[in-house]
Chain A
Amino acid sequence: MARASRRAGLDDLLRKRVIFVAGKGGTGKTTVTAALALIGARRGLRVLAVEVDAKGDLPAALGHPPVGFRPVLVQRNLSVIALHADESFQEYLGIFFRVPRFTRLTPLAGVFDFVASGVPGPRDMLMVGKIAYEERRREADGRPTWDLIVVDSTASGHVLSQLTAARAMRKLVRGGMIGSQVDFVDAMVTDHRVTALCITALPEEMPVAEALDLHDQVVRRTDIGLGPCFLNRSLTPAASRQRRLLELLGTPAHTRAVAELVGDGVEGVVAGALLAERLAQQAQPHARRLTAGLSVPVIPIPLVATRPGLVTTRAVAGVLEAAA
């Protein structure tokens, strides 16, 4: 993809107010979420990064220990929050029923838990509802508390039921207070100017299949707007000149000649470069299948060799901005 359109992809995306990042487990959701949050904060937006499953990976990707249900400022302009359904529920009751926090709600939470595990609606609804609530929050001077909310969503299998929870609840719960509030959540999720869903993938068989499946379901079954797809661990095949050089160095006579210059290790270097080339070639059909099957642009993020954490997040953010 041309740089100009990639830049437009990223700029457009950062103009949204809420970005959900979703994809198969292990496709780099957390790193992409953290990198988008970092870029937004660098550009002067007040950013809230949201962790949905509370494993502590998102704060870690921003160089911070695990956080709780209250937003914690981890970098300039950048706060992180971890959502728990139970706490969302407590807060919800606090807001709408004036039930003080820390009231013994355990029995009710049990009932809620049952309903929530039986019906996907309420739990998901509360998670998304909390995000909608943060989106709506205003400071005393009237400006929004957050300019951008980036959500590290649950694995792709579940993200759709989460985002469509409000609509599902509409069918299930005809009356009740929840029933009267689902519309506002649904409106936020389906407003293309406000919310975008970004899918992450890897250039491998199953992650691409799952990304395409999620994409198709979003398009067919929902009114949710899609942002660009992030293809993590991308490997670019070498240019033809570099491939010729690789071939040249691979012949035994030449390897010996080069070994005299840089040492015997050159054999290993050639083998490694050859392996990288094979891996890149192997990834190509998957990357092409992804690009062909999506209605949105694909932004490749090259493979990095660091462990997940702030260093990796910064590297990915740098790549995204440099590519743009």
Chain B
Amino acid sequence: MTRSVVASAADAVGAPAAGPRPDSLAALLGKLQVVVCCGSGGVGKTTVSAALAAAIATVYPKRVLVLTIDPARRLATALGMTRIGSDPVPVPAAQLRRAGLQLRGELAAAMLDQKSAWDRMVERYAPNRQVARRILDNRFYQGISDAFVGSHEYMAMEALYELHASGEYDCLVIDTPPSRNALDLLEAPTRISDYVGARLLTWLARPSRFGFRAMNLAASPLLRIADRLLGSDVLGELGDFVNDLQTLYGGVQERARAVSRLLRSSRVGFVVVTTLEPPAFAEAGYFVSKLEEFSMPLRAVVVNRVLPGFLLEESAIQAAQALIENHGSAARLARALDAPVDAASLFGLAGSFSLLSELARRDARQLPRLERLTRCPHVQLPLIPERISDLEGLARMAAML
């Protein structure tokens, strides 16, 4: 499939939410076992993920789970629920039906809890409970699970792997963290194992360990600096912590390899979600090229919040120009309409069209870049300006996917 599937603005505003068509994105992606949605923050990724999961469950009689890492309540809100926890909860089919979504399968949602995911990892890979306890209680551990670059991403992948392996769901749709650096996500599995196993860390491990004497000469001035920088108690404590941490290495590395294999397999597909806002779009481009570089299969690009096409029409742009530039417009209009028309209002009105028209033109110039970047299908979702209920909005979006 190489052509784009474009949902027009008219479809979005007028038509009631029907089910997705058989050639839809949902039909295509629903054949996969794992769909990873990525993109920068603020592009509506969580909502798109939820809509995509819902759409897949309307096309196929499958058990579909949408998983979010975003601690903000966006997923719950999008699905019309009050709370979503780390255990999957079913989304009530009746509620979805009222909003216009007729499910053939089942839809469930879950939100990943970072902290407990890290804790579970430590407990799983530590050689015994004593070591696990020591790691969990260490003050450096708190810092690691909070601050390690890529830890969010890794935990997302870890949770994904577990859910996939459990076989409880036919299709998993995962809403990734709004990672500024796309690499974090894709390198996450390998980075985490490097991190836990970094050979350099053995330096910090207890001096009695292998090789210390040999490295002592080279290492000691540096260790002295580190010592002066941090204070000796810190270095010692850190060393103990590293010793414990390294016991996790084998397990983590093995799992990281498995996750990495899964992400490259044919059962998995990536979807890049973006808007045409220049920074988000630039990030999407970067994402697309990185996925290619890491040979991870990109299946679709979803362009969210596209401005309607009439803003690009030459006749409208000229009419607005005429209203703005022609000083007699207001008076002539007043005569034609037989109503008072003040110049300021007319100017303001034409100006607000022109602003959106300029935005639409700026956005439209980006689309050819997308075509050049990837041949995979892309779907444009129109900007919906009305304030509609969350589920109704979800249903409309699902209908376009």
Contacts and interface: CB of A to CB of B under 8 A. Distances in A.
Interface of A: 24-27, 53, 57, 93, 97, 99, 105, 107-108, 110-112, 114-115, 117-122, 155, 161, 172-179, 202, 204, 206-207, 209-210, 238-239, 241-242, 244-246, 248-249, 254, 257-258, 260-273, 275-279, 282, 303, 305-308
Given A176-B229, A271-B310, A272-B311, A25 B320 contact: no
Contact count band on B: 35 or more
B42 A24 contact: yes
Given A26-B42, A265-B316, A265-B317, A173 B230 contact: yes
Contacts of A155: 41, 180
B201 interface: yes
B310 A276 contact: no
A214 to B, nearest CB: 13
Contacts of B43: 26
Contact of B225 (A27, A99, A261, A271): A99
A266 to B, nearest CB: 5
B90 to A, nearest CB: 25
A272 B40 contact: no
Given A25-B42, A110-B200, A245-B346, A305 B143 contact: no
Nearest to A53: B180
Contacts of A244: 345
B284 to A, nearest CB: 12
Interface string B338-364: 010110111011101101111101100
A62 to B, nearest CB: 16
B318 interface: yes
A179 B235 CA distance: 13
Nearest to B46: A206
A238 B318 contact: no
Nearest to B73: A209
Contacts of A249: 337, 349
A263 B323 CA distance: 10
Contacts of A175: 231-234
Given A263-B315, A272-B356, A276-B352, A26 B277 contact: yes
B325 to A, nearest CB: 10
Contact of A121 (B41, B143, B315, B341): B143
A118 B148 contact: yes
A70 B218 CA distance: 31
Given A178-B230, A254-B337, 11 more contacts: A57-B279, A117-B147, A155-B41, A172-B234, A176-B234, A239-B348, A246-B349, A265-B316, A266-B323, A268-B315, A269-B319
